[in-house]
Amino acid sequence: MIRRKGGRKLLAGSVALAALLWSAQGVAHVERQPLYDGPAPGSESWEHERVAIERDGAVSVYNTRQPVYELLLPRPDRASGAALVMLPGGGLRVLGTGAALQDEIDALVREGVGVLMLEYRTLQFSPAELEWMTAPPPPRDPADPPARFPRMEIVNGNANPAAGTIAMTDVLELATQDAQAALRLLHANAAEWNIDPDRIGVMGTSAGGGVAFGTLLDRQAAADERPDFLVSIFGPSLQDVATWEGAPPLFMAVEAEHGAVTDGLIEVFRIWNAAYQPAELHIYDVPNFTMTEKLWGPPLFDWMRSRGILRVTGD
């Protein structure tokens, strides 16, 4: 991955700490804070306005050009020391947030995991393009055969359907830089936020998983920009994959019929497994997009405990 130089500084940790609010349940919540101190590096010339659309509890965010984050921390007596950067999905075109993502975050925090939910940079669209993209889909004819995800040849674990597309390549690079900056923020504030700097990972859904793999595969990144573990929920790598001795452990979950996404994660597992590096893959035979944290959450937390990411009582 090409790395741009001379990025903006992160906001000081004291700004985030000043915004720390404790709920009645004892969960600390930092509401929407800018990730960078000033314009995000590499997108200073972007002009389209951020748009958020809510439908039936789901929130779709378009045209993110200035990354922001929210932080949720378990109360000190429940904190395990583990933390992760949460990367929502949306094909790098939109970020899907709302109730479903909040359920995932809540499940993690209940287990003692600190979560930094990142709104990272996405492709930019004009108002006319957004009007077309966000129009309600036509009603589906019950007589139509079920929709199926497309498949593609997976080479080197890369399941990017738009590989070589300049705009997509650029926004993937910027989104990865945002995720790396979020990892740096967790490291910089580890002591104040009851986080173990050796147990900071990334978790991505759909294209967010691709961004997560971007942080994992950037071998030239600084130590505090690289994850100690990776969790991908139907999110394949969007670039070529190679592993190495001592690579971080992977937890991956996907539906059986998610097309190239399923094939891509199977290939990533094969690459990790062939090199004797730790990886766990769960493939569920469920209807598309019906996987929730109630399905993959218990295996994930068992895996985190088995890897020492979540410390059991008495550790």
The whole-number average pLDDT for the span 96-112 is 93
Order the strands of the 114-119 sheet from edge to edge.
21-22, 28-34, 68-73, 114-119, 83-87, 200-205, 230-233, 250-255, 279-284
pLDDT of residue 34: 95
The whole-number average pLDDT for the span 145-151 is 86
pLDDT of residue 11: 52
pLDDT of residue 17: 52
Query: What are 116-136's pLDDT values in tens digits?
Result: 999 999 999 999 999 999 888
| Cβ 10 vs Cβ 184: under 8 Å | yes
Query: What are 8-62's pLDDT values in tens digits?
Result: 555 544 445 545 665 655 678 888 899 999 999 999 999 999 999 998 888 999 9
Hunting for tokens 């730790």 — which residue is that? 278
**What is this structure's pTM?**
0.92
Question: What is the residue-wise DSSP string for 55-82?
Answer: ETTEEEEE---S-EEEEEE--TTT--S-
Query: What are 176-209's pLDDT values in tens digits?
Result: 999 999 999 999 999 999 999 999 999 999 999 9
pLDDT of residue 312: 62
Using pLDDT thresholds of 50, 70 and 90, give the confidence band for residue 291. confident
Sign of the CA dihedral with 13 first, then 17, 19, and 25 last: positive
pLDDT of residue 15: 46
pLDDT at 284 over 50: yes
| Cβ 141 vs Cβ 104: under 8 Å | no
pLDDT at 3 over 50: no
pLDDT of residue 267: 98
pLDDT of residue 21: 62
The whole-number average pLDDT for the span 80-85 is 97
pLDDT of residue 96: 95
Q: What six digits make up the tokens of 193?
A: 């936020």
pLDDT of residue 19: 57
Mean pLDDT, the chain, as a whole number? 90
pLDDT of residue 2: 37
| Cβ 163 vs Cβ 155: under 8 Å | no
What stretch of H or E contains 109?
helix 99-110
pLDDT at 156 over 80: yes
302's CB contacts (< 8 A; 6+ apart) are: none
The whole-number average pLDDT for the span 237-252 is 98
Domains, the chain, with CATH or none: 15-134+155-306 (3.40.50.1820)
